[in-house]
Chain A
Amino acid sequence: MKRATWLVPTLYILFLMLPIYWLVNMSFKTTNEILGSFTLFPNDFTFENYMVIFTDQSWYMGYFNSMLYVSMNTVISVAAALPAAYAFSRYRFLGDKHLFFWLLTNRMAPPAVFALPFFQFYSAVGLFDTHIAVALAHCLFNIPLAVWILEGFMSGVPKELDETAYVDGYSFPKFFFKIFLPTIKSGIGVTAFFCFMFSWVELLLAKNLTAVDAKPIAATMTRTASTAGYELGLLAAAGVLTIIPGAIVIYFVRNYIAKGFALGRV
């Protein structure tokens, strides 16, 4: 009985880590070694794959583009969701509950449904292949999510706090920025993380709404698989680098996410 307590989680983590290990393993091998033999460790350890990514502009610009539109999206989503979530948490108005639920249903539609209208519309207004185009398109599913999460955190703050601030003489904007936002900063952190994550992993819209100037890293990776044969080592290295930003962000917000789960909103 006592043995099982460490055995099961160990096995679980082992299975969980296996694909990630294999990816890291591959990224340090040459393509020949990957295709030619089955090795648990790289025989011919090489940084070559990473060097290509850091020196070739078509590679590192992919990361830059992704980072840029993801950041833009995160800022826009949180900024737009804050007042909306405040309204949902503090005011009662006609149809508020229906509207709140309707927001969530936006997440239920696959982004592919919206790819064509976005493509056509953005082409018409000259937004095609710009960072803001992808950032705005991702708001489609990120703003509802952000409103949903933030509303949970805001409703955890008693309305009496608002009232106390007004009594003390704070105007609404002053209260909102100086007292309310610092109070729910962990909620803002969690929200920003999820917006970042969902925008970072979304491929379909990002790929279809860009061509060259704003091309995301995920699109660059699919291209590499089909040009000069299979550059599997390069692909693996790109994959590793794609995981890292998410891993860094999740490290910083790990405690807040637990709070979000406790509120039942994540």
Chain B
Amino acid sequence: MANWAGGSIPHARNLAIEMSVELKNVVKRVGAETHIYQTSLAFADKGFNVLLGATGAGKTTLIKLLAGLEKPTSGQVWIKGRDVTRVNTQRRNISLVHQFFVNYPTMSVFENIASPLRVSGLSRAECDRRVREAADLLKLGPMLKRRPSELSGGQQQRTALARAIVKESDLVLLDEPLANLDYKLREELRDELPRLFAGRGATVIYATSEPTEALLLGGMTATMREGRVVQFGPTAEIYRTPSDLTAAEVFSDPPINTAQVTKAGDRITLNGGVSWSASGAIATAADGDYTIGVRPHFVRPKAATDGLVRLSGKVLITELSGSESVAHFALGDRAWVSQSHGVYQFRVGETHEFYMDAGKCLYFGSDGALVA
């Protein structure tokens, strides 16, 4: 897990005063539809922030509100201690990179990168210097004279990123910038991204639909679902302790496994009849019904250690990718996923045994909130 800030980001609560990019009670409605429900969020100043959510969760809308391309129905947007709710995009000093590679098709790569500097009226020499520096950083040096249409997709997106870097803005918005790149390029650019923006004094907000990407990028993460920010905090922390079932579902790939359990005394019983002894925080919780959430990699086809809970279910689908085995199996009326390293042979339709690490279970109350 790469935490680019070197773990120097303190917990969100302690940072409140330094926060420079903030949404205050922002609501966005279009016609009768609500795109963003009332949201207050203070992003980590000069840090890397990830917006994590599935397509349609409102990530792009949030980014457009921050960019000023859309105005909130109510509420305020603050950047650098200034209320910019009514300030035009042009005067917000921000950068934006879209999911689709957007460059000016009639301009050369050089002119594309230089365009924000040209508008601001920077001297020619200074402009030249900064463009070359950004181009070198993104390995675009030899392409400066070409048109965007003569570049590969990866290079086109690099051009867009260079334009975002060269401007030295207060706020950099990246709207799924790697989603349209092929696998190899995506990995390469993802490694470079946090380094590119580190130490530039800009607050970076990065939207993605992939939980793995959020974990790799580190920093802070806001999980989003259906127009609401579900949880915000240091990425690793909210991965380990999601505030509720929704946050856990958003931040899990493959999807988190859930089941109904009943706690009585120190025994936890799964609907199917399997039971295990309560340990850790759940041991002191009240008796009653809970929903458990178990990440797929804590459900394995082999009992590697003692104290695992044995489950069995009919295998529905299997996926084998390199050295990783994924099996979907039926547990009661739910489909569960097991994800493990190593190659395992599953036969679709046969009943197989899986071992769940009960110590890694998350327990959610009837209202969805995390209990233990």
Task: Tell me the residues in window 173-227 of chain A with beta carbons closer than 8 Å to chain B beta carbons.
Answer: 174, 179, 182-183, 185
**Which of B101-109, B196-204, B233-241 is near enough to bind chain A?**
B101-109
**Which of A18-26, A52-60, A164-172, A257-265 is near enough to bind chain B?**
A164-172
Complex CA gap A168/B163 in Å reads 8
Total residues of chain A contacting the partner, CB 8 A: 17
Least CB separation from B96: chain A residue: A167
Shortest CB-to-CB span from A2 to chain B, Å, is 39
Q: Is the interface of A mostly helix, strand, loop or mixed?
A: helix
Task: Tell me the residues in window 113-142 of chain B with beta carbons closer than 8 Å to chain A beta carbons.
Answer: 115-116, 119-120
B167: interface (CB < 8 Å): yes
Complex CA gap A226/B78 in Å reads 79
Shortest CB-to-CB span from A256 to chain B, Å, is 15
A96: interface (CB < 8 Å): no
B89: interface (CB < 8 Å): yes
Q: In the complex where A163-B67, A163-B69, A163-B96 touch, is A168 in contact with B119 (Cβ < 8 A)?
A: yes
Complex CA gap A163/B102 in Å reads 10
Residues of chain A within 8 A (CB-CB) of B163 are 164, 168
- Contact (Cβ within 8 A) A169 B102: no
- Contact (Cβ within 8 A) A166 B98: no
Q: In the complex where A166-B69, A168-B116, A170-B90 touch, is A183 in contact with B96 (Cβ < 8 A)?
A: no
Residues of chain B within 8 A (CB-CB) of A165 are 104, 115
A160: interface (CB < 8 Å): yes
Residues of chain B within 8 A (CB-CB) of A170 are 90, 115, 119
Shortest CB-to-CB span from A167 to chain B, Å, is 4
Of the residues A161, A167, A185, contact of B67 by C-beta under 8 Å: A167
A158: interface (CB < 8 Å): yes
Q: Mark B78-100, 1 if CB is under 8 A from A, else 0.
A: 00000000001110001110101
Complex CA gap A182/B106 in Å reads 7
Shortest CB-to-CB span from B303 to chain A, Å, is 52
- Contact (Cβ within 8 A) A179 B69: no
- Contact (Cβ within 8 A) A166 B89: yes
Shortest CB-to-CB span from A96 to chain B, Å, is 15
Residues of chain A within 8 A (CB-CB) of B100 are 158, 160
Residues of chain B within 8 A (CB-CB) of A167 are 67, 69, 89-90, 94-96, 116
What band does the interface of chain B fall in when counting residues whose beta carbon is under 8 Å from A? 20 to 34
Complex CA gap A163/B69 in Å reads 7
Complex CA gap A145/B208 in Å reads 42
Complex CA gap A30/B196 in Å reads 80
- Contact (Cβ within 8 A) B106 A183: yes
Residues of chain B within 8 A (CB-CB) of A169 are 90, 116, 119-120
- Contact (Cβ within 8 A) B89 A179: no
- Contact (Cβ within 8 A) A183 B102: no
Of the residues B90, B96, B98, B106, contact of A179 by C-beta under 8 Å: B106
Of the residues B90, B103, B105, contact of A166 by C-beta under 8 Å: B90
Complex CA gap A167/B175 in Å reads 14
Least CB separation from B103: chain A residue: A164
Residues of chain B within 8 A (CB-CB) of A164 are 96, 98, 102-104, 160, 163
Least CB separation from A172: chain B residue: B90
- Contact (Cβ within 8 A) B167 A168: yes
Complex CA gap A168/B120 in Å reads 9
Task: Tell me the residues in window 156-176 of chain B with beta carbons closer than 8 Å to chain A beta carbons.
Answer: 160, 163, 167
Least CB separation from A168: chain B residue: B116
Residues of chain A within 8 A (CB-CB) of B103 are 164
- Contact (Cβ within 8 A) A168 B115: yes
Complex CA gap A168/B100 in Å reads 17
Complex CA gap A158/B102 in Å reads 8
Least CB separation from B121: chain A residue: A169
Shortest CB-to-CB span from A237 to chain B, Å, is 43
14 additional contacts, CB 8 Å, given A160-B102, A163-B98?
A163-B96, A163-B102, A164-B96, A164-B103, A164-B104, A166-B69, A166-B88, A167-B69, A167-B89, A167-B96, A168-B167, A169-B90, A170-B115, A183-B104
Q: List 18 A-B contacts (CB under 8 A).
A: A158-B100, A161-B102, A161-B104, A163-B64, A163-B89, A163-B96, A164-B98, A167-B89, A167-B90, A167-B96, A168-B119, A168-B163, A169-B90, A169-B116, A169-B119, A170-B115, A179-B104, A183-B105
Chain A residues packing against B (C-beta within 8 Å): 158, 160-161, 163-171, 174, 179, 182-183, 185
Task: Identify the 7 closest CB pairs spanning chains A and B, nearest first.
Answer: A169-B119, A168-B116, A182-B106, A166-B89, A160-B102, A167-B96, A160-B98
